[in-house]
Amino acid sequence: MGGESGPGTAAPRKRADARRNEATLLDAAAAAFVESGVNVPVRDIAARAGVGVGTIYRHFPTRADLIVAVYRHQVEACAEAGPVLLAECDRPHRALACWIGMFVDFLVTKHGLADVLRSDDAAFQTLHAYFIDRLVPVCGQLLEASAAAGEIRPGQDAYELLRGVGNLCAGAGSDTRYNPRHLVELLIAGLRIQDRGERPGGTVAASLAKAGIGLRPATAADAEFCYQLHKAAMGEYVTAIWGWDEQVQRAFHERVFNPHRWQIIAAGQAGIGMLDVEYRPGEIYLARIEIHPGHQGHGIGTRIIGALLEEAESTGLDLVLEVLTVNHRAHALYRRLGLTEAGRHGDRGTKVTMRYAHHRE
């Protein structure tokens, strides 16, 4: 039976030290590859890492071993950074932009390895699949979080995005006038939904004011109010289709709650509903309207939809929204106001897309 001073306690510390030393070597090798190519003398890498040449050969007996290790080390660092950025950044899109920046840094080294990776050496044949398997899911997670927060359009393909960024970075070192980072930044910025920083006002606010109803921007403090409102207003419909799972619904609300765009519908100082309107190219998209059951039936929803229709007419835009198939009351209201069904989607066609098309000349 070993005590605290036995070999069982010393080994993990040595393994941790070895991992740190190996990471230092790989970082030094990666920097040397970027600066001088993969055929840089081992002594130069050793000098960067502050170790002897023998140390490098002890860890990586051949140059191929070193190249594969550098590649995997950088892929792992990039993959591990995704969830960390998502947790630390204030917005998912910001986390996505930072992560893509890291990915571009990685690609600089990857393209430095391009000739070697295209070789017939068996050591390199599995690296591309490893790259795809590790990084595409991370990128997908960042895209899904950004879409859930209403910052980008849903349905973006992670592989397609990474492939596009890779193409922009290809050959970057051969033309000093070409900076792929600028184009990649434009690409990532272009993913964002362009709502022009607008919230519905003007026509909508004036129409509600006639009924003594106001609109105010949501804040982080409204998160619980909006959740309880959703439960009261939509709970029966969600239950009818999927069943109400409190844990699932709270997690979903945490992902989609967006005080940067949501508005609180208020009667006096009391919140009675919420509104989420997104301004897209060619259309006004009513992402969500929920009114507490105690205030339904007083024409508030009709006023809001009517005011949005007036805004759509005056700006030459369509008005688009979605409604659950089981919400017959809302469905009937939208039809009365002139919206028509444009399609069904979701699991078993549970959501109906409705559109009021502005008649363009």
Q: Residue 178: what are its φ and ψ, rounded to 5°?
A: -105, 120
CA distance 162 to 160: 6
Tens of pLDDT along 250-306?
A: 988 888 888 877 899 998 888 999 999 888 778 888 989 999 999 998 889 998 999
CA distance 328 to 344: 15
Query: What is the pLDDT confidence band of residue 204, given thresholds at 50, 70 and 90?
Result: confident
**Per mean pLDDT, which range of 68-82, 114-128, 211-225 is the poorest?**
114-128
Residue 264, SS3? strand
Q: Is the dihedral of CA 345, 350, 353, 354 positive or negative?
A: positive
pTM of the predicted structure, to 2 decimals:
0.50
Residue 341, SS3? strand
User: Does the pLDDT value for residue 105 go beyond 50?
Assistant: yes
Per-residue model confidence (pLDDT) at position 206: 75
CA distance 49 to 47: 5
Per-residue model confidence (pLDDT) at position 16: 66
CA atoms within 13 A on the CB side of 121: 15
User: Does the pLDDT value for residue 330 go beyond 50?
Assistant: yes
DSSP letter assigned to residue 257: -
User: Does the pLDDT value for residue 40 go beyond 90?
Assistant: no
Tell which residue, 71, 194, 186, has the closest CA to residue 124.
Answer: 71
Mean of pLDDT over the chain: 83
User: Does the pLDDT value for residue 195 go beyond 60?
Assistant: no
CB contact burial 275-295 (16+ within 10 A = b; e otherwise): bbbbbeeebbbbbbbbbbeeb
The percent of residues above 90 in pLDDT, for the chain, comes to 30
Per-residue model confidence (pLDDT) at position 327: 94
Query: What is the pLDDT confidence band of residue 9, given thresholds at 50, 70 and 90?
Result: very low
Average pLDDT, stretch 347-355?
Answer: 85
Average pLDDT, stretch 68-72?
Answer: 87
Tens of pLDDT along 87-100?
A: 888 778 889 999 99
Tokens of 56: 């490098």
Which residue did the predictor score with more confidence, 284 or 115?
Answer: 284
Query: What is the pLDDT confidence band of residue 120, given thresholds at 50, 70 and 90?
Result: low
Average pLDDT, stretch 101-129?
Answer: 69
Query: What is the pLDDT confidence band of residue 203, given thresholds at 50, 70 and 90?
Result: low
**Per mean pLDDT, which range of 79-93, 123-137, 194-208, 258-272 is the poorest?**
194-208
